Structures are given as C-alpha cells and as structure tokens.
Structure 1
Amino acid sequence: MLEFAEGAATNRKTLFVEVILPLAISINYTYRVPFELNDAVTTGKRVVVQFGKSKLYTAIVSAITETAPGKYEAKYILDILDEQPVVTTRQLQFWRWLADYYMCNEGEVMNAALPTALKLASETKVMLNKGFEYDKAALNDKEYLITEALDIQPELTISDIAKLLGQKTVMPILKSLFEKNIINISEEVAERYKPRKRAFLTLNPAYHNQDNLQELFIILEKRAPKQADAVLAYIKLSRQQKVVSKTELLEASGAGESSIKSLVEKEVFFVEEKNVSRLGYNEDEDEIINFVLSDAQQAALNEIRQHFTEKDVVLLHGVTSSGKTQIYIKEIERVMAAGKQVLYLLPEIALTTHVIERLRIYFGNAIGVYHSRFNDNERVEVWQKVLNGEYKVVLGARSSVFLPFNDLGLIIVDEEHETSYKQFDPAPRYNARDAAIYLGNMFGSKVLLGSATPSFESYYNARTGKYGLVELSERYGGVQLPLIQVVSITEETKRKTMQSHFSSVLVQDIYQALDAKEQVILFQNRRGYAPVLMCKVCAYTPKCINCDVSLTYHKHTHKLHCHYCGYKEDSPSVCPACGSTHLEYKGFGTEKVEDELSVLMPEVRLARMDLDTTRSRNSLQNILNSLEEKKIDVLIGTQMVAKGLDFADVTVIGIINADSLLKYPDYRANERSYQMLAQVSGRAGRRDKQGKVVIQTYDPNHRVIRQVIANDYSDLYFTEMEERKSFKYPPYYRIINLDVKHKDPEVLYNQAEYLAGELRKHFGDRVIGPEPPLINRIRNYYIKSIMLKFERDSISIVKAKAIIRETITQFQTTKLSKGSIVQADVDPY
C-alpha cells in the first residue's frame, strides 16, 4: 500500500491547499478548494491553478489545511487531474530535503523530478491530429467550435480558445478532445501520456466445440478462403502462446485487414484493445540463470552483508573486471526475495543500455529502465509501473532517484565516483549518489556503493568508519590486470616515429590486435575535429559570440561549434582579421582521430562514440551492438568509452593524449585523471586474455601515471589527502559556490564585490573571491564566482546555508542587484 498523506475532506468544509508550482519561487502558494472538489483533493495529486494574471499551471498538492493564507486572498483551484496521487508523501519529503540541502526551490526540484508529460502550462499550442478521422456529429457544441476554428487556423493557444468560447477554464474540454485523439497539444495542457494500445483477438467460445469449428471451416473454405486461413493461423498461434494480437495474426496468416474485420463482424473473433508496454520487453522472458560466485566474490558478498547488519552504507572497492555486477545481482536477488524494491544507479545512459541486457537475463520483466533518452510516454509508463509496484528493480541514470518508490530495500550506486551523477544545470544541482544515500535513509534501506576508483569522499567515509568498506583485489576468473606501457610523445616526435597522433608502439599494437581478430578502443577526451582554428599570420582565433570560448571545428558539418551554448558559424577560408589564407587547426578531438586513422589504416572498420554520434535515440545502442557483434575493429571515443563497458574481444586500449587530463586547473585533477586512466585501462582484457594499454603523454614520469601503472590507489589517496587537508578542500571541508551573473561586466564587478563583502561579515576568511571562473562568459552572461569553505566539524552547515540564503535575499532587495542572477551550488565538484 502506498503511503499518501491523508487529505480527503467532508463536502462543506472550506479547504485550502498548499501547492508546489514548477517555478523558481521561494514560498509555496496556497489556493482554495471549491466545495465540489473537497472529496477529490488529496496530497500528491496534480491540480490546475492560475498563477499571475492569466498563466495556468499544473501544481502538486503538498499540504491540505483549513487555514486561509494571511497575506493574500486565495484563488480557487480550477481542476484536479488525477484520480490517484502521482507523487507519494515520501517523494514530497525527499523534494523538501533536496531543496533545502542544495539551496534551491521545491518548484525547481519538481521540474527535475516529474516527467515532462505530467507537467502542464497554459501558453501552449493546440492543433488537430492530422490523419485521424472522427465524427463531428458526436461532438458537443464547444468541442465542435474548437475543431472548426482549428480547421481554419492550424494552431491556437489556450488563451485564443478561452476567448473563442467566452470562458476562462477550457481544460476539461481540451482534455476531452485530447482523450478522443482529435487534437494534439504542444507542451500539453491536458494529459500528454496516452497508453499504447494493441488489438488482441480471441476465438468465440462457440467454436471451441470441434463440430462447430469444422462446420465453420467448410463454409469459409468455399466462400472466403482467406478468412479460413486466418482462423487456421489463429489456432496454431494460440497453441504456442497465451494471447494473439491482430498484428501477429495478419503476419502469420497472410490475410488482409478486411478478412479479419469480416471475422469480427461475424463474431468468429472477439477483439479487445489492451494497453501494452512501449519498453520493448518480451513478456514471457522470465528465465533466471544461476551462476556461481568465485571464492573472492563470495567472501566480498558475505562481508557486505555483515557490514549491513551494522551500517546503512557499504563501499565495495573492487578492481576493474573483478565481477562487481555479479555481486550486485546476488544482493538484488536477496532483496527481491524479501518483496522489496531495488534502485540500481549507473552514471551514463551508455552504461545503462549495456547493463540492462545483462540484468534482464536474470530478472526478466521485473526490471524497469529509466533515463532521459526515453520519450515522454515511456517515462510516464515507467513512473506508473514503479508507483504501482510492478517493477521490483529499476535501473537508470541519476534522475531515477525521483521515481515514486514505495518499498525500497536496496540502492546500488555503481561507479559511484563518476561526475555524471552530479547535475550542474539547471537547479537542483544535486549529486545522485548523495541523494540516494538520503533516500535510502528515508526508507530504511541499504546503500551499496561500487567503484574500482572510489571518490575520495566515499573512501574517506569508509576509512573513518562511517561506511562499511569491502575490498575486492582480484579480477574475475584470475584474469591479469592489463599491461600498461607509457610512450613519450616527445621522444617519438624526435625520432620521427609518430604517425599523425599515433606512436609507433600504438600502431604496432593495433595491427597485432587486428591480426588476432581482436578489437581496440582509442580514448581522446575531446570531441570535434580541432579545438582551435588559428591564423598563422596574426594569431586570430574565432570565438563564440555568446561565450568566452574559442569555437571547435567539426568536419562533418564544416562549421565552428560552441560546446557551451550551441552557437555555430561557417568555418572561414580567409582570416577575418588580416585577410590571410594561412589558417590552421590546433589540437585534435575524436573526429580528427577517426579521420586520420582512416587514412593510416583504410582497411580498418572504425566507429566513433561521443556526444555528436549518440544524439539520436538508438545510435548509442547500435554502436554497442556493432562492437559486440565484431562489426567494429576500432572504437574511438570520449569518456563515454571509459564507463563500465564489458566486451570480451577488446584487448588493446590507446590513450591518445593523457596530458589533457593531467594538466587541468582543478584541485581534483589528479584524482579524476587517475580514475579516468584506470577506468579506460580496465576495458582491456576482461576475459581470458591479458590486455594492453598504451598511454601517450608528453610527461611519462608524471606521478599519477606511475600510480596508474602500479595500480596504487592508496598512494594516490594518501598523497592527495595531505594536500586537501593543507589547502582546506573536501572531504575535510564543505564547499558552496555562488555564481553571480550579469550582462554588464562592470555592474557584475560591483554586485559580486558587494555580495562577497556581506558574506564576509558573517563568515570572515571562509569567503574566497569573487574571481572569474575558467570560462567567465556563457550565453552573454559574465560570471564571478564566490567560494565558501566550511570546516566539517566546527560549524553548522544548516545555519551557514540559512545565513547565505538571507544574505542573497537581502542583496536581491537592493537596487544594485538589478539584472543579476545568483546561483548556489552545494558540493560543486
């Protein structure tokens, strides 16, 4: 039974509801409930409300009271959209915590949490559903008037329709037309979600009698042989499967639509429309495959379960290819047997689509998938199945923490160190790993963090006893860790053995792998063709008109792209500054690596996996399928290739330029470089063959590279933690970043200095800045950053956040703040 706050009321009470609007407002608004809706209103339901002069929104009821708001007269809610709540009380509690911890508003959390199809707004466009035939005589007067108007004008806004009908609230009429499939709605005001339906056929029970069936065949074979074929095909299909769809029967029988329609009219078949899943699962695939854990895996699992008797969070630190996924599966089976739900978080959609194929073998239809590549209807379908308890396991990316679970027993956060768990824009700027730990605490469930290269925060918490710690130091099946060879780009360049961006060592290893019918992954942490286009005469470099960054050249579009705002322009052939034709490309990305390798090895089958090649819905899965089916010899990619991919025949990994990771100006650069290099290396030799990793760098003696070669995470950890402690960085200190933005740099300077000065009155030298960030203008807004560092033990972070909120509010009430945007980012890295 789902837990929902009680909200039903008797008919004549004057009720008020506090609602969460999908807007960045700091206080939730209160509305009055019409008497006729008293019995229907419940916490967690969506209601339609007017906010401002004319805007209509969907809001979530967060509380019900009989107390009117003191400062303003409450407007009435206009409609209730749900028969049952779509948000649970635990979710509302979770939203409040997220808003409080990450210093944002509940409306911003609601925007991130709810699938788009469950959110509504008023200034939307309505149009006729082209190609759908309907009977106008069956419409009422107002519905008819709307359809006639849409025949004349293809699109109408809701305000247009309200004027047309001479009434304020048109939602019920639009909802009716939408449910009849007559209209489509952009940013729908009515329900976006429509179940996917399929026609299923059943044989009239009268023909279960063999004599009657034989008589029917005789008649049909003489008069309508195609109909006889359809009946015969149905009987064969019904012996093999429980239900027969109309589509399956048409395909199996070779009969046409008209034959099936005639059989339905003769009542030989009865037709029933059923909702079916859009998610592509085989309804009958429920096979559970048993496997045996190795001794090391079993020992790790026993240790995890022992820790869970005392601690709520356990960190599994297992080397790459140590079989962490199999341990997860065994723990999922245990929790499912107890009748509880499991949330399995993965950092990337690439990894999600890869892992789901493996997990579905074990859990069949009990597992659901949730990520941003699903369309609106699919996301709502998963939402409803989780709400109804149909999914026992949900596997997904960071937004899965928002799903309406009712009985969570276990949360797994795989690759817990990944930065992909952190949302940077828009608010809430949450970390799904940390949010999952709080979610687990709410449900009293256990949380299992897994990584070969844990984040320093999690490892620190494990070493200090806050979390349980389990180490798994050997690869599954006794496979050896890959052999790592470091190649000096400087030395190879001097010896003239570099071919484009490929050292002689890497080229030789690629050829050896291909000769052995094995596969190769090449890693370059930058997409595009060339990061910089530069004039050789005057050093002019094209920059984005909206952001303070140089434009990246993309060969497939022959345009210069901004990776921050999406701006594009044609690549010039003449320098616009001096008129020179001597323009050259500096640096290189995945596109250039692919282009130059295709020239160097024209016979090799190449593919590229980066943001540009995986934008469409199925492109990512197609690349992974092709790699698994050995249709690809060499896969070139960005960090997407580093995250948990498991392919038996990948034996060589080439890291084209490690320096782009190591030289980044960030206190986490060494930690992240180690994680990335170790994770990429871990893709090699994951079965019975030892893999090889070639790291190309200008600095082969860099400490982090040496630690990667030695697989010495502990040395990295202790070395870096000394520096973190000295320079007041996490995990010893908490960080809150405030970005102040304005379109005028001079105004911004004054605003940021004032705000920093006000904060120093409370926090002193804990306030650092304001300073311009690495990219100090994005989308025409100049940026100044203020960093606040707080000791973990000697100051209340709750009180500190309250003071920061008050200071920002006070700043925003001054004339000086005009035109500014202030964004808070808690735990920003």
Structure 2
Amino acid sequence: MTTLFADIIIPLPLPQLFTYRIPTIYNEVAQERARVVVQFGKNKLYSGLIAKIHSTAPEHYQAKYIEEVIDSEPIVTEEQLNFWAWIAEYYMCTIGEVYNAALPSGLKLSSETIILPHPDFDGDFRVLNDKEFLVAEALSSSENLTLKEISDILSIKTIMPIINSLIKKKVAIAEEDLKLKFKPKIEEYVRLTKQCRSEDVLRLKFDDLTNAPKQLELLLHYIKLSKWHSEQPREVKKVVLYKQADSSLAQLKGLIQKEILEIYEKEEGRLSPFLKEELITPPLNEFQLKATSEIEEGFKQKDVALLHGITSSGKTEIYLNLINKELAKGKTVLYLVPEIALTTQLVNRIKKRLGKVLGVYHSKFNENERVEIWNNTLNQSGYKVLIGARSTLLLPITNVGLVIVDEEHETSYKQHEPSPRYNARDAAIVFAKHQGAKVLLGSATPSMESYLNATNGKYAYVQLNKRYGEMQLPEMVVANIAEAQKKKTLKSHLTPELFHAIGGALERKEQIILFKNRRGFSPFLKCNQCGWIPECKSCDISLTYHKYKNQLNCHYCGFASHVPQTCSACGSRELQMLGYGTEKIEEDLEILFPNNSIQRLDLDTTRSKNAYQKILMDFENGEIDILVGTQMVTKGLDFDNVSLVGVLNADDMLHYPDFRAFERAFQTLEQVSGRAGRKHKKGTVIIQTYDPNHTVIQQLIQHNYKGMIKEQLTHRLQFHYPPFTRLLRITVKNKVDSVCADHAKIIVHELKKNLKSEILGPEKPSISRIRNWYIQHILIKFNKNMNQPLEKVALKNCIENLYSEKLISNSRVNLDVDPY
C-alpha cells in the first residue's frame, strides 16, 4: 500500500508547514482541507488542517504520524485556503496565524495536560516530600487531576517541578486529554410509537387509559400539538409538551412503558432563522436609480466601484437593490460593516427584508453559535447573504457575486492585535478577485486611498449628493470654548450656544445626541502641590477615574487601583480631577436638566450581550432624552426625533499625533453630524472648539469633503505618506527599556544595509510601555514604484538573521503592513 504524507497547517506562528505521515487506516479517509489531530512539540496536540496530500517523505526529519482524522469532508474551501495564503504573504504573518484567526474556537481541539497515577507505583510514600505527598494522596482517590486542580490543592502556581519529580519517581504519568469544544445542541422530541400510528390501535390505547386520567390528558395534548390527523403533522418537543399539558415526567414515563409514546433525539441549530416581513419596499428615487445604473455600468469595466454618498442619501437601499439582483442570479453576497454591534438598526432593517437567507456573524455569538454559522456557510444551500464585521471575510463563503464594504473609511476594518494584522477593506478586494466577484465600497467620507483610486480611474466612481426625500443637511454651528471660558459663561462643559440649544430641543420634546471621544469620569487626577499624576504600574499612561466604580483604571491593560486620598509623592491632600469623560458629562447633565432622562453609551455601559440594543431601543421609544457617548454614537444611528447633535470638544481629534488626524477628525465629525435632522426636520450640529478658525472645522461646517481631501493629499504627497507610499511599522518590545532601544537600533542598522526603502526611527511611541513591555517603533516607507514583495523578503530575512545570530533574541518583533 502506498505510504502517504500530509503537509499540515498548525494554528501557531510557524514559518512553514510540517509534514506528517498518514496511517494506512486513514489513507482512504484523509482529505485535503480537513482537520486532523497532530502532535507538535513535547506531547502537545493540535487540530491541524491538511493543506496537501502527497507521497514524498520530508528530507530533514522523521515524519510523525497523524494521531486522528477529525473530518470526513473538507471544512474550508479551496478559494478560502488560497485567500488565507495571500493574507499570510501580504501581511507578513504565517498561514497558521490566519487559520487560527479564521477558525471558530469551537472547531479547535483543546489539549489539556492531565496527571494520572503511575500503574507501577508501589504505594511507598516515604520517598516523597510534603507537597509531592499531597498530590500523590489526591491521585490515589481520583482517576486523574488537571494542572489547575493540582495548583489548587497545593495553593501555589509553580507546580511543574513537583510534577516532574513525581514522574521521575514513577508515582505519576502525564497525558494529553483532547477535547472537542463544539457541542451540537440536542433536543428531545416525543412521537407515537410505530404500532400506535394506526388509528385502530391508538383508539384501543385510549380505552386502556380510562383509569389513568393524567396520562390520557397528556396523550390528548400530544395529539393536539402534533396535529396528528392533519396532512402536515408537527414534531413536538418534550419540554413543550410538559409545559402545555402542565404534566410531569411520571405521566410521560407511563405512556412510554405502555408503548404509546417514545422519545427521540434530534440535533438542532442554536440560531433561529430570520423571518422575512412583507414590507412595502420604498422605490428608489431618481438619484438612487441613477447611482445604481452608474454602478452597474462601472462594473462592466472595473472590478471595484466607490459609492460616494452623503449622509442620509439612501446608500443602504441601493445596496439592497443590488443584493436582490445577485440573489436572482443565484449568487451569494458578502456585506461587511465596521462593527456589527454598532449597526443594530441596519441589521434589523436588512433582516426584515431578506429573511432566512441572511446570516449574521459577529463577536457577541458564543463559540457554538459561531460553529453553526461556519457550517451553514460551508453548506451551499445555507446562507445567501452574510453580514458581519471584518472576520466574516475569513468564513468558507462560495459562489460570491458581490462584496459590499459599507463605511469603507472606518478604522475598525483594520486588525491590530493579534496577527494577522489585515485590513478587511483591502483584503475584500483580493477576496472578490479569487471569487470572480465585484466590490462596492460605500462611504459619505471615503478614505484617501479609495478616493484617489476612484478619481484616477482605477475604480468606478459614483456620487450621490442628494439626501433622500425632503431631508436637508443640518445647520452647522461653531461654539468657541475659549471665549466662553473668558466670559465665564460655561455651564459645566457646555457653551451658551449648546446649553440653550439643548434646552430648546427638550422643550420641543426632541432628542439630543452629545459626542465626547473619551469614556470615564475624569481623564486623570493631579496633585496641585507637586504635579504628581497617578500612572499605571504596567503602562506608561495616566490612570482614568471612573466614578461609578470609584476607582482608577488603565484603558490599556485593565489595571485598577483605589483612589488615593493623599499624593504619593509629597503627601498633599490637594488632589484635583482634570479633564472630563462621558461619565462626568452624564452626571453634570443630570444636575442641569434634572427632569429629563439621560443615558450614557460607551464601552462601560455596553459590556453585557444585549446592553447596546437595549439602550438604542429605549432611545428609539423616546424613553431617553439625551444620549451621551463616545464613537459609538457616530455610527449607524437613525432616529427621526433627533434634532440636535453636540460635539463637546473637536480638538481632542484634531491634535492627535498621527498624519491621518485631520482626515479622521473630518470623517468622524461629518458622520456624527449626519445623526441630526431626519425626514421633514432640519437638524442642528454644534461643534465646540478652542480654535473655530481651524481649517478642518471650517471645511466641516461647509461639508467641504473635497476641499479637505485636496489639502490633505497635497501634504501627503509633499511628505511621502499614503496614499502615495505604503507603510510598514516594526514594533520592538522588551521588558528592559535600554535593551529595547538597543535592539531597535540594531534592526535599523541592518535594514539600512539591505533595503532600498526610506526608514524612519527607531523612536518611542507616545505610550512607550504597555503591560511591562517597553516599545520602540520603526517605520518603513515603500515607494509605490518599488518592488515591494522583494523588499518584504529582504526585511524578513534581516529579522530572521538577527534572531539566528542571537542579536535580538529576547525581544519580540511584530510587523504591521499598512498600519493605519
């Protein structure tokens, strides 16, 4: 029989695939793109993926055997695997990292070390010390122990020396226990036994139950629920039967013993299909029809189209129109949104229009639900439209005709940690190419990359400059914070313009959204005597005060500390809260407007699964008058009664140390301004700032996107920044500050000898220590005319050589391609 080998993708950051031998019993079973159990490292088991089956043994090592074949069918598609390979190559990571990110945790096998009694142990405890004795005694009364259980028994964390000693003394042995995380949902159903499906037999059984009235009542309930006499009988869940009949297990057991009813099990999905509602679909207006026609014409020449439509212009209706056309062709559609949790209204709207053909994929689902979505997507008779955030792109989707990337400018499409650090917008274009599909990018404020590609003719460019129906663009008002401070007319953090506008809107029973891009009560605490500011013990950042917890928190590592009563540096009691966040604004508004309902919408108030949806529902139902929030309030909200939007401090975004700060500030503020004014009401947007004459503020109040883009592109071209170059950021981390700096200098020195690209740094970022890791950044600028793949290979070789020569061996080096 032929000896077969398999190249396996292991879910680890390994630079290459490893070849394993297929046991002959699996020769006919093993398939490419299916999961197998393999041992990698010392006794550690992983669920790997077969990339290729062949008959060539590896040259430099003895191939281990595959332990077990998990799948009888492939669980990823060929196009999907090719796409993963592209992600790994372009974003300079490993395919194992892509596989690990793509696969739901429920499809990964977890290997746990368990300790068992050694079969040859003679029971002589005299050779053991006290801690070893405690473990051995526990093992004698238990079949096995996990490492956590042993740690709890000994009340210590470092237990491996004790376990190794027990193994050496032949008191215990260690094994890997492999567990499949995904558990299908099994429901119990009730049905008539085969003999009782005859009406004559069933009638006799009814007669036999005259002395068992409760069993008779239960059987009658079953007949009613199952519609047994009808042409379309229904299955009856055991739990439903109990509930409807107000019965108990004893009565059911009686009917089972009399061979009238029987219980059977059935695997069920956890996700209920969405119900399609017969809604009157609003007709596209002349501007939407024109845009749709231009998109379709553009697709005849180009693979990508950019729909540049102002806020409330009706882009979603155009998307739905195009989706229905793809469904009519028998095609699948992928619909990407920046953050699924922040687009609840949009998803609900699409659910009603599309029904059960729609699948939604996001981080709020548990691991079993994610597996069911994966399996349903793999099944070509399953979902026809998939909507979700960036990870949806990694699902086993096939037969795709159209990919929609809504709000394509959003930073949420970029994955920062962990690897793969991909941008879903850019990757979606390559994904579509693998599928032979078209891509539609949509935004009111497109990214500079997309805008330049569209105006240069690389993409089709379609504009939609008219709001839907009679909706008007909001009135933009700039309020000068410095002037209000000088005149002492500020009320809390509200200028007179914003304060009076809020009061007027509340009198008219209208709603208000206030935007502040910082959560918490106060950004930091400061000693008035010596200037001391409490900082995180693990990060180079001041702690933020959260009043509802009454503690100081680090927003980077999660460290929490009590609020000090005295200064740690000089002992002074003169400690002052400086700055303000959403929590402080909420408290102040409750004092200023005590008769109104005020709610905060930020990370702290939306941690539970349905908290975000509940707040939005309350706001939509008019139970909340003022909604205060971070960037969460800028996305996907569409409320008819919102007449006023207030930006509490626009300068927070304008003065951020990033070459994209002005572009991002304009995009965010234009998006939030789009929340004001719906249908027949013209809204008002009040932007508070210390610099009313700032270029971006002036461009914003005129909704002058093209003026902002033109100015920013001039600066980008002058200083060689994207979209005219491509960036790659190298992050060097070490536990010792000086070592981190030295290793970063070594890397730069080596890169300058081997790369043709412009290299900047190394330098410390503004937050130069996170979780006790010191950080240095190196920035590489690739000229667009340069051979980037060759430069990337040279870069990778440099890093690998430095590691192999042990010049940077105890530092972590991360590569981030297109780090924006």
TM over 0.5: yes
Per the TM alignment, residue 269 of structure 1 is displaced from its structure 2 partner at its CA by 4.0
> Residues 756-792 of structure 1, C-alpha deviation per residue, up to 9 Å, x if partnerless?
1111123356111111112111111211111111221
Q: Which moved more, 1:263-272 or 1:563-572?
A: 263-272
Q: Is 1:815 the equivalent of 2:809?
A: no
> Residues 409-459 of structure 1, C-alpha deviation per residue, up to 9 Å, x if partnerless?
111111110000101111111101111111000000111111111101011
Q: Which residue, out of 91, 98, 102, partners 1:109? A: 98
Q: Which moved more, 1:109-118 or 1:209-218?
A: 209-218
Per the TM alignment, residue 29 of structure 1 is displaced from its structure 2 partner at its CA by 1.3
C-alpha distance in structure 2 between counterparts of 1:616 and 1:262, whole Å? 44
Q: Is 1:460 the equivalent of 2:449?
A: no
Cα gap change, 1:481/1:226 in structure 2, threshold over 3 Å: closer, same or farther? farther
Aligned counterpart, 1:609 = 601
Aligned counterpart, 1:398 = 390
- Secondary structure of 2:762's counterpart equals strand
Cα gap change, 1:671/1:124 in structure 2, threshold over 3 Å: closer, same or farther? farther
Q: Is 1:734 the equivalent of 2:726?
A: yes
C-alpha distance in structure 1 between counterparts of 2:760 and 2:667, whole Å? 28
Q: Is 1:353 the equivalent of 2:344?
A: yes
Q: Is 1:59 the equivalent of 2:48?
A: yes
Per the TM alignment, residue 206 of structure 1 is displaced from its structure 2 partner at its CA by 7.2
Q: Which residue, out of 88, 91, 106, partners 2:77? A: 88
- Secondary structure of 1:788's counterpart equals strand
Aligned counterpart, 2:334 = 343
Cα gap change, 1:75/1:169 in structure 2, threshold over 3 Å: closer, same or farther? farther
Opposite residue 429 of structure 1, the aligned amino acid is R
Per the TM alignment, residue 165 of structure 1 is displaced from its structure 2 partner at its CA by 13
- Secondary structure of 2:179's counterpart equals coil
Cα gap change, 1:202/1:646 in structure 2, threshold over 3 Å: closer, same or farther? farther
Cα gap change, 1:762/1:818 in structure 2, threshold over 3 Å: closer, same or farther? closer
C-alpha distance in structure 1 between counterparts of 2:635 and 2:501, whole Å? 23
Q: How does 1:2-21 map to 2 (within 5 A)?
A: 12-21=1-10
Q: How does 1:669-684 map to 2 (within 5 A)?
A: 669-684=661-676
The count of corresponding residues between Structure 1 and Structure 2 is 781
> Residues 20-69 of structure 1, C-alpha deviation per residue, up to 9 Å, x if partnerless?
11111111111111111111111111111111222111111111121111
Q: Which residue, out of 403, 412, 416, partners 2:404? A: 412
Cα gap change, 1:233/1:486 in structure 2, threshold over 3 Å: closer, same or farther? farther
C-alpha distance in structure 2 between counterparts of 1:152 and 1:34, whole Å? 30
Q: Is the 8 A contact 2:478 2:692 kept in 1?
A: yes
Q: Is the 8 A contact 1:479 1:687 kept in 2?
A: yes
Q: Which residue, out of 143, 147, 170, partners 1:149? A: 143
Q: Which residue, out of 565, 584, 599, partners 1:592? A: 584
Opposite residue 149 of structure 1, the aligned amino acid is E
Q: Is 1:574 the equivalent of 2:566?
A: yes
Per the TM alignment, residue 361 of structure 1 is displaced from its structure 2 partner at its CA by 0.7
- 5+ residue gaps, structure 1: 1-11, 128-144, 172-188
- 5+ residue gaps, structure 2: 117-138, 152-159
- Secondary structure of 2:21's counterpart equals strand
Q: Is the 8 A contact 2:334 2:402 kept in 1?
A: yes
Q: Which moved more, 1:260-269 or 1:313-322?
A: 260-269
Per the TM alignment, residue 272 of structure 1 is displaced from its structure 2 partner at its CA by 3.4
Q: Which residue, out of 613, 618, 633, partners 2:610? A: 618
Per the TM alignment, residue 330 of structure 1 is displaced from its structure 2 partner at its CA by 1.1
Cα gap change, 1:715/1:493 in structure 2, threshold over 3 Å: closer, same or farther? same
Cα gap change, 1:449/1:423 in structure 2, threshold over 3 Å: closer, same or farther? same
Q: Which residue, out of 360, 364, 384, partners 1:373? A: 364
Opposite residue 711 of structure 1, the aligned amino acid is H
TM (normalized to structure 1)?
Answer: 0.89
C-alpha distance in structure 2 between counterparts of 1:742 and 1:565, whole Å? 16
Q: Which residue, out of 456, 460, 469, partners 2:461? A: 469
Cα gap change, 1:234/1:597 in structure 2, threshold over 3 Å: closer, same or farther? farther
Aligned counterpart, 1:797 = 788
Cα gap change, 1:269/1:502 in structure 2, threshold over 3 Å: closer, same or farther? farther
Identity of aligned residues (%): 46
Opposite residue 58 of structure 2, the aligned amino acid is P
C-alpha distance in structure 1 between counterparts of 2:724 and 2:663, whole Å? 16
Q: Is the 8 A contact 1:102 1:429 kept in 2?
A: yes
Q: Is the 8 A contact 1:230 1:253 kept in 2?
A: no
C-alpha distance in structure 2 between counterparts of 1:154 and 1:740, whole Å? 33
Q: Is 1:384 the equivalent of 2:375?
A: yes
Aligned counterpart, 1:446 = 438
Aligned counterpart, 1:98 = 87
Aligned counterpart, 1:705 = 697
Cα gap change, 1:652/1:49 in structure 2, threshold over 3 Å: closer, same or farther? same
Aligned counterpart, 1:198 = 187
Opposite residue 582 of structure 1, the aligned amino acid is E
Q: Is the 8 A contact 1:221 1:228 kept in 2?
A: no
C-alpha distance in structure 1 between counterparts of 2:234 and 2:694, whole Å? 64
Q: Which residue, out of 9, 13, 16, partners 1:24? A: 13
> Residues 641-668 of structure 1, C-alpha deviation per residue, up to 9 Å, x if partnerless?
1112222222221111111011111110
C-alpha distance in structure 2 between counterparts of 1:258 and 1:770, whole Å? 75
Q: Is 1:638 the equivalent of 2:627?
A: no
Q: Is the 8 A contact 2:522 2:577 kept in 1?
A: yes
C-alpha distance in structure 2 between counterparts of 1:92 and 1:411, whole Å? 18
- Secondary structure of 1:716's counterpart equals helix
Per the TM alignment, residue 290 of structure 1 is displaced from its structure 2 partner at its CA by 3.3
Q: Is the 8 A contact 1:368 1:394 kept in 2?
A: yes
Per the TM alignment, residue 245 of structure 1 is displaced from its structure 2 partner at its CA by 2.7
Cα gap change, 1:52/1:674 in structure 2, threshold over 3 Å: closer, same or farther? same
C-alpha distance in structure 2 between counterparts of 1:387 and 1:146, whole Å? 47
C-alpha distance in structure 2 between counterparts of 1:396 and 1:487, whole Å? 38
Q: Is the 8 A contact 1:289 1:362 kept in 2?
A: no
Aligned counterpart, 1:760 = 752
C-alpha distance in structure 2 between counterparts of 1:278 and 1:42, whole Å? 28
> Residues 329-366 of structure 1, C-alpha deviation per residue, up to 9 Å, x if partnerless?
11111111222211111111323433221111111111
C-alpha distance in structure 1 between counterparts of 2:326 and 2:751, whole Å? 47
